Amino acid sequence: MVGQTTFRIVVACVLALFSMSCSGSTDSSGETIDLSGENNAAGTMGSGMLPGDEVEPVSCEKNGIDIISTEVSVQEYGLQIRAITSEMAPIDNLIIRLYSGRATAPREPGVVVMDGVNYKDCGICPLIMSDCTQRGACTKVFYASQGEIDIQSLSDNRFVATLKNLVFDHVTVSDELSIPVEGGDQWCLNDFTIDEEYDGTIPHSGGGDPGGGGGGGRPSQCDNPNLACVGDTVNDFALTNCGTGEQVSMRDHFAGAKAGWFVLTAGWCGACSGWMPQVVSMLNNPQVSGLKAAVILSESPDHMPATQRYCQQYASQYDMPLESIFLDHSGGRAYATIFQNVWPYVGPDGRFGLPFNALIDAESFEYIYADRGPAGSLSQAMQGLLR
């Protein structure tokens, strides 16, 4: 009895320590990804210039881009257009991300004016990742905050747009904030047309749907029998282990444990770098038995799909056992597999925070806890499973 009491105190103290950094609350230190897809704006976006206004000529170090292939894919946050210059390194990637949950996102054809809007606020965001390797490591990132995007089609599974007088500045992107590099190059792109079909439906959060954030009512997404929300049983699914490169069943991975802990992270996520040491410390604590984690890595620091090699480097950085870290990126969608099975409880504005924590009962596979979900705190849920 004394031993059991001591164990509970130790668990409570450790959990209390790192629950302070958990993104389960509305802690603003976490990274956010827009997953919702609520289209709120139409016609001309931006607040300063008007379509067709005269633009002062800019002399760029680079002009134009020679594309060999273009792919448009539906993402949790909206839509991504990716065009590449080569299949062999060095590769330049033209990437346009439509964050359909942001207030400035286009919802129908019209002209979007990039009048100085920062990456963290853009509804449709043009990027160029330059001098990339086949593994996704890129030398430079460029972001266009000047010019126009003339969208002719967003519906019927077809995206058509012309990029006009876009000026891309060399930037760094930290916490989704684009910061110009002092003395950095500029890259100009004009009269570049994209006309591609895509599969699927651009996600919408829905006007009256609480989206699952902050403990609201049961989201409409939970009506999908294959998608588990808190209180449901999670279907078994497999992820690629970073150590072996092989697919591992999550039921097999968590076998013998009491609590299964999913921790979602990304190489560009600054808040995650502060969270990972606490996760590893908890897993290495000999007085906390029955806890097992699956750390899920999606993207590299350049926002490209993480490779097995980078995943191993990421694990080494935090002294994380390779058996505990997995990859989940379809090439077009981050966290594609887990989000087909586990609802991530996006916020009312459609945003999804990193790091993201979810707990399951490792024996029954019942979904017990999710950050921003309806079931208390991570520490309380974990204590309940580890008793």
Higher pLDDT pick, 210 / 55: 55
In a domain, 42, yes or no: no
Pairing mode, strands 247-249 and 238-241: antiparallel
Name the strand (E) or helix (H) holding 152: strand 138-153
In a domain, 55, yes or no: no
Let me know: does 378 contact 371? Beta carbons within 8 Å. Answer: yes
Specify the range with the lowest mean pLDDT, choosing from 62-66, 85-89, 162-166, 254-258: 85-89
Let me know: does 130 contact 60? Beta carbons within 8 Å. Answer: no
Distance CA 98, CA 189 (A): 18
Name the strand (E) or helix (H) holding 41: none
Number of compact structural domains in the chain: 2
In a domain, 211, yes or no: yes
- Among candidates 289, 267, 285, 286, which has minimal Cα distance to 276? 267
> Cis link prior to 90 (omega < 30° from 0)?
yes
Pairing mode, strands 259-265 and 356-361: antiparallel
pLDDT score, position 348? 52
Let me know: does 194 contact 71? Beta carbons within 8 Å. Answer: no
- Residue 78 pLDDT exceeds 50: yes
- Residue 242 pLDDT exceeds 50: yes
Distance CA 40, CA 349 (A): 11
Q: Which of 146, 177, 197 is the last residue of a domain?
A: 197
Let me know: does 7 contact 287? Beta carbons within 8 Å. Answer: yes
Model confidence pLDDT, tens digit, residues 113-132: 998 999 888 999 999 988 88
Spatial CB neighbours of 126, under 8 Å, sequence gap ≥ 6: 94, 95, 96, 114, 143, 144, 149, 163, 166, 168
Please say whether the dihedral angle defined by the alpha carbons of residues 24, 179, 46 and 148, taken in this order, is positive or negative: negative
DSSP 8-state symbol, 350: S
Specify the range with the lowest mean pLDDT, choosing from 3-17, 233-247, 296-310, 355-369: 3-17
In a domain, 240, yes or no: yes
Q: Which of 147, 174, 197 is the last residue of a domain?
A: 197
Segment 350-358 mean pLDDT: 82
Specify the range with the lowest mean pLDDT, choosing from 180-194, 217-231, 275-289: 217-231
- 353 with 239, same domain: the answer is yes
Phi/psi at 308 (nearest 5 deg)? -60, -40
CA 330 and chain centroid, separation:
12
* CB atoms near residue 68 (< 10 Å): 10
- 170 with 123, same domain: the answer is yes
Beta-bridge partner residues of 111: 150
- Residue 246 pLDDT exceeds 50: yes
In a domain, 41, yes or no: no
Averaged pLDDT score across all residues of the chain: 80
Q: Tokens 């747009």 label which residue?
A: 161
* pTM score, whole prediction: 0.53
Tell me the CATH number at 364: 3.40.30.10
Model confidence pLDDT, tens digit, residues 359-370: 999 999 999 999
- Residue 148 pLDDT exceeds 50: yes
Let me know: does 265 contact 354? Beta carbons within 8 Å. Answer: yes
For residue 235, count CB atoms less than 10 angstroms from its CB and return exposed for 0-12, middle for 13-18, buried for 19 or more.
Answer: middle
Distance CA 29, CA 42 (A): 31
Amino acid letter, 97: R
pLDDT score, position 260? 97
pLDDT score, position 41? 33
- 182 with 328, same domain: the answer is no
Using a pLDDT cut of 70, give the percent of the chain over it: 78
- 225 with 360, same domain: the answer is yes
* CB atoms near residue 8 (< 10 Å): 13
- Residue 53 pLDDT exceeds 80: no
Segment 268-279 mean pLDDT: 89
Model confidence pLDDT, tens digit, residues 298-311: 999 988 899 999 99
Q: Which of 197, 228, 257 is the last residue of a domain?
A: 197
Domain that holds residue 363: 2-35+206-386
- 235 with 328, same domain: the answer is yes
In a domain, 88, yes or no: yes
In a domain, 157, yes or no: yes
In a domain, 365, yes or no: yes
- Residue 108 pLDDT exceeds 50: yes
- 228 with 151, same domain: the answer is no
- 213 with 352, same domain: the answer is yes
- Residue 205 pLDDT exceeds 70: no
- 361 with 217, same domain: the answer is yes
- Among candidates 265, 364, 269, 277, which has minimal Cα distance to 311? 265
- 229 with 300, same domain: the answer is yes
- 248 with 356, same domain: the answer is yes
- 182 with 266, same domain: the answer is no
- Residue 109 pLDDT exceeds 50: yes
Structure tokens at 40: 């709120």
pLDDT score, position 8? 35
- Residue 50 pLDDT exceeds 50: no
- 16 with 118, same domain: the answer is no
